[in-house]
Amino acid sequence: MKSVLRHATFQGPLAMMRSGVSDIWRQAFAVAGRYQPFDAGAGKIVDCGDVYFSGDIPVRAGDVNMQTCLCFASPPPLFEEVEDLVVTPEGAGWKGGMLYEKYSASKPGLRALWRRPKPQQTIPEAYFVQSEHTDTFGDWMSEYLAPLARIGDISAPVLLPRSLAARPYVGRDSARLGVRFTSVEAPVRIEKAKVVRQSKVIRYWTAPDAVALRDFLSIKSIEPKPGSIVYLSRRGESSEVAVRSHPNLVLEDVVRERGGLVLRTAEASLDDYLAAANSAETVIFDHGSAGYNMIYWRPKRVIEIVSDAWWMNAFLFFADAIGNEDYRIIRSDMGNKARVAAKLSEALAAPLLATRKTALHLDQATLT
Domain ranges, ordered by start, for the chain: 76-198, 229-367
d(CA 285, CA 263): 10
Is residue 263 a contact partner of residue 271, using CB atoms and an 8 Å limit?
no
When the pLDDT of each residue in the chain is averaged and rounded to a whole number, the result is 89
pLDDT digits (tens, 9 = 90+) for 206-219: 999 999 999 999 99
Check pLDDT > 80 for residue 11.
Answer: no
Q: What is the pLDDT of residue 310?
A: 84
Q: What is the pLDDT of residue 257?
A: 97
Residue type, 184: V
Q: What is the pLDDT of residue 342?
A: 96
Q: For domain 229-367, which architecture applies?
A: 3-Layer(aba) Sandwich (3.40)
Of the candidate ranges 37-46, 169-178, 286-295, the one whose mean pLDDT is the lowest: 37-46
pLDDT digits (tens, 9 = 90+) for 341-360: 999 999 999 999 864 443 33
Is residue 125 a contact partner of residue 93, using CB atoms and an 8 Å limit?
no
Helix (H) or strand (E) holding 180: none
d(CA 112, CA 119): 14
Is residue 285 a contact partner of residue 305, using CB atoms and an 8 Å limit?
yes
158 band by pLDDT with thresholds 50, 70 and 90: very high
Name every residue whose Cβ is closer than 8 Å to that of residue 233 and which is 6 or more positions away in sequence: 248, 251, 252, 262, 263, 264, 265, 286
d(CA 287, CA 307): 8
pLDDT digits (tens, 9 = 90+) for 246-293: 899 999 999 999 999 999 999 999 999 999 999 999 999 999 999 999
More confident residue, 19 or 132: 132
Angle between helices 337-349 and 248-257 (to 10 degrees): 30
Angle at 62 between CA 12 and CA 291, to 5 degrees: 60
Q: What is the pLDDT of residue 177?
A: 96
Helix (H, G, I), strand (E, B) or coil at 158: strand
pLDDT digits (tens, 9 = 90+) for 80-135: 999 999 999 999 999 999 999 999 999 898 888 988 999 999 999 999 999 999 99
- Residue 196 is classified by DSSP as E
User: For the residues 159-166, what does the mean pLDDT come to?
Assistant: 98
Closest C-alpha among 224, 211, 239 to residue 318: 211
- Residue positions counted in the chain: 368
b (16+ CB within 10 A) / e for 25-46: ebeebbeeebbbbeeeeebeee
Check pLDDT > 90 for residue 181.
Answer: yes
Q: What is the pLDDT of residue 237?
A: 74
